[in-house]
Chains A and B, each alone.
Chain A
Amino acid sequence: MNDISSQIPAEAAGTRQPERRFGEPLLTVENISLSFGGLQALTDISFDILEQEIRAIIGPNGAGKTSMLNVINGFYHPQKGTITYKGNIRRTMRPHMAAAQGIARTFQNVALFKGMSTLDNIMTGRLLKMHNLRAPETGVFGLDQVLRWGAGALDFVTQCLYWGPNEKEETRQRAYCEEIVDFLEIQAIRKTPVGRLPYGLQKRVELARALAMEPELLLLDEPMAGMNVEEKEDMSRFILDVNEEFGTTVALIEHDMGVVMDISDRVVVLDYGRKLADGRPDEVRSDRGVIDAYLGVAH
């Protein structure tokens, strides 16, 4: 297990550098078109998300932002276009496969598991990282599959008995979740059923659950919707911290332009399913098309 505190780079404590160094493109979408029957949701969209950057997707209501996120994490299957993730062209996939590849997501209207406690919600986020038993790799054709099935069955038995490897694994993952709880400052609500929490905290728990997946790409759908200024500041700080401390690439949709311009490295603007502009926040801000889309054009 990774110890979070050891991953903090020394310079992270300092101020944010205006010119940060980004890596290769983590995810590239090319010529994506998506339609539902006669409704064209996305038309010929291309952009990329570089490693370790914070990429904002903005646009007026109904511009196709959420559809774009749904395409990225496998909910929608575009009719045209390709998605390249970590250098490989991605086939059509289900959301749980995207999760296995390191894509985590939060939702516009909080999608927590309402009947479970905060801690259980976060632990559920660790599900893919939990292995009570691992089958040994022999490389013999067929045998590996049999061993995997056997390990799965044994794993099930240890869960039934809450014994040995299962108890150890539960404790180990709990320790990891507690670090996230500390990081997001939600210690006090650990055991509270999330249905009872106020909205702002629910958003934070949802972020915690996404972080528990140790994602490489974190998709945030309106993380600050419906929050007051103080909560927005907290959330912005958490997003920046996640990005800097864990090196997580973030793609976010947000309507609060102040926040978007402050925290994002590059912005892509959509309107009516088409890409209007793409670039650094200051470039986008002065773009004629973007201003027209937001303010309307005088005829």
Chain B
Amino acid sequence: MFYREAGQFKTSYAADQAIYPIRQDKIGILILFGFSLLAIPFIAPIYWLNSILIPFLIFSLAALGLNILTGYCGQLSLGTGGFMACGAFFSYKLATAMPDTNILIVFLLAGLGTALVGVLFGLPSLRIKGFYLAVATLAAQFFLIWMFNKFSWWTNHSPSGVISAPPRAVFGDIDVTSASASPEAKYVFLLLLVSFLALIAKNMVRSRIGRSWMAIRDMDIAAEIIGIRPMLAKLSAFAVSSFFIGVSGALWAFTYSGSVEALAFEINRSFEVLFMIIIGGLGAIMGSFLGAAFIVLLPIALDTIPLLLGLPLSVETVAHLRLIIFGALIIFFLIVEPHGLARLWQIGKEKLRLWPFPY
């Protein structure tokens, strides 16, 4: 009824190639963005900002990065945690070595450094595929975490091996990093940064470079016949993906936790981000956000629902139940829709177009 593109005619290819070719979508996303930016910082409780929205945005960025590599270019990677650690420690070293540099430039440089590391560990992808590549990227995961633990230079010789992010300002004198910054400022900063990076990711995947990634993913032999150089396509995917993941690691250290050690980026973190893109939808920008929301929100929802219902359950029972239900839901979603929440969203929109008619 209200969601129908009848009467919206496109008269140019540019209009047809827009990110949101349907007007309702465009309005919807603008409203969502406006609400997130202008309303949420004022109405959301501090707990929501600190424990839900900020980690959600950071995880979305990490998932976005992994989705570029795994979802768009088809290269399975288990090194996400290691690359996040790279971003965190690189930005820490840079921020403490150059205290006067704008923090955005620090993040950019840390991201670029991580991209370089990503390319290095992406080199095996030129020879091996699938599960074998996943095992090769495990090497990155373990090596990087070991390196950051082993050499105290990375933590500026902190005896506990923990790095504490220094406070840095971005807009004038509003601090956006470290534990002392206000959650609202951190949230707005993250929202703007993550939205901008998501826009860049979307632009890439609808341009030449994105098509070359998808071609490699879908049929690497045919891609090569067309003139795509597999080396360039795969390594650029590793670079861009690692850049995003590196920035998300830097944001994790600087805005979410404030102080962090290498163990925060262990193999579990890699799996967590991988689950996000599998549940959210491989090869969908939107899927990275949906998957991150799912993984961040579900444990919290599972914790609070028994309380709301007034069920007399002990804390341990709740903790165990949470794991069981969490696992069961993941399996359920994968069976119902193997292409993830993004695909469900798509199907929902297609149904809505026809509603109230069945077809």
Interface residues of A (CB under 8 A from B): 73, 75, 94-96, 98-100, 104-105, 107, 111-116, 120, 123-125, 127-128, 130, 132, 156, 159-162, 166-167, 170-171, 174-175, 178, 209, 213
Q: In the complex, A128→B14 CA distance in Å?
A: 21
Query: Which listed residue (A94, A105, A156) contacts B209, Cβ 8 A?
Result: A156
The interface residues of chain B, by DSSP majority, are classed as: helix
The interface residues of chain B lying within 8 Å CB-to-CB of A98 are 225
Q: 7 tightest CB-CB pairs across the interface, nearest first? A: A99-B227, A113-B218, A162-B203, A111-B222, A159-B207, A128-B227, A95-B224
A96-B227 CB under 8 A given contacts A161-B203, A162-B206: yes
Q: Please, which residue of chain A has its CB at the minimum distance from the CB of B202?
A: A162
Q: Please, which residue of chain B has its CB at the minimum distance from the CB of A157?
A: B200
A112-B222 CB under 8 A given contacts A120-B214, A161-B200: yes
The interface residues of chain B lying within 8 Å CB-to-CB of A116 are 211, 214-215, 218
Q: In the complex, A130→B210 CA distance in Å?
A: 13
Flag if B224 contacts A111 (CB, 8 Å): no
Flag if B222 contacts A107 (CB, 8 Å): yes
Query: Which listed residue (B13, B16, B226) contacts A128, Cβ 8 A?
Result: B226
Flag if B226 contacts A123 (CB, 8 Å): no
Flag if A170 contacts B207 (CB, 8 Å): yes
The interface residues of chain B lying within 8 Å CB-to-CB of A167 are 14
Q: Which of B102-129 contact A (CB under 8 A)?
A: none
A127-B222 CB under 8 A given contacts A115-B217, A160-B200, A175-B13: no
Flag if A112 contacts B224 (CB, 8 Å): no
The interface residues of chain A lying within 8 Å CB-to-CB of B227 are 96, 99-100, 127-128, 213
Query: Which listed residue (A94, A107, A162) contacts B224, Cβ 8 A?
Result: A94
Could you write out 7 A-B pairs with CB less than 8 Å apart? A75-B221, A100-B227, A107-B221, A112-B219, A114-B218, A115-B283, A156-B209
Query: Which listed residue (B14, B206, B209, B219) contacts A113, Cβ 8 A?
Result: B219
The interface residues of chain B lying within 8 Å CB-to-CB of A170 are 13-14, 17, 207
How many chain B residues touch A (CB < 8 A): the figure is: 30
Q: Please, which residue of chain A has its CB at the minimum distance from the CB of B71?
A: A115
Flag if B228 contacts A115 (CB, 8 Å): no
Flag if B209 contacts A171 (CB, 8 Å): no
Query: Which listed residue (A159, A160, A175, A209) contacts B226, Cβ 8 A?
Result: A209
Flag if B219 contacts A111 (CB, 8 Å): yes
Q: In the complex, A105→B226 CA distance in Å?
A: 8
Flag if A123 contacts B211 (CB, 8 Å): yes
Q: In the complex, A100→B229 CA distance in Å?
A: 11
Q: In the complex, A117→B105 CA distance in Å?
A: 38
Q: In the complex, A100→B226 CA distance in Å?
A: 8
B22 to chain A, nearest CB (A): 12
The interface residues of chain B lying within 8 Å CB-to-CB of A178 are 13
Q: In the complex, A162→B201 CA distance in Å?
A: 10
A178 to chain B, nearest CB (A): 8
The interface residues of chain A lying within 8 Å CB-to-CB of B11 are none
Flag if B226 contacts A73 (CB, 8 Å): no
Q: Please, which residue of chain B has its CB at the minimum distance from the CB of A195?
A: B218
The interface residues of chain A lying within 8 Å CB-to-CB of B228 are 96, 124, 127
Q: Is residue B297 within 8 Å, beta carbon to beta carbon, of the partner chain?
A: no
- Given contacts A113-B219, A161-B203, list 10 more A-B pairs with CB under 8 A: A112-B218, A115-B283, A116-B211, A116-B214, A124-B214, A124-B215, A125-B226, A160-B204, A171-B12, A171-B13
Q: In the complex, A209→B227 CA distance in Å?
A: 12
Most B CB atoms within 10 A — which of A100, A124, A159, A213?
A124
Q: In the complex, A162→B210 CA distance in Å?
A: 12
The interface residues of chain B lying within 8 Å CB-to-CB of A127 are 208, 211-212, 215, 226-228
Q: In the complex, A112→B217 CA distance in Å?
A: 11
Query: Which listed residue (B17, B204, B225) contacts A174, Cβ 8 A?
Result: B17
Q: Please, which residue of chain B has its CB at the minimum distance from the CB of A168?
A: B14
The interface residues of chain A lying within 8 Å CB-to-CB of B200 are 160-161
Q: In the complex, A58→B319 CA distance in Å?
A: 68
Flag if A162 contacts B222 (CB, 8 Å): no
A125 to chain B, nearest CB (A): 6
The interface residues of chain B lying within 8 Å CB-to-CB of A125 are 226
Q: In the complex, A26→B224 CA distance in Å?
A: 22
Q: In the complex, A178→B203 CA distance in Å?
A: 21
Query: Which listed residue (A100, A107, A159, A174) contacts B208, Cβ 8 A?
Result: A159
A190 to chain B, nearest CB (A): 10
A194 to chain B, nearest CB (A): 9
Flag if B13 contacts A124 (CB, 8 Å): no
B240 to chain A, nearest CB (A): 9
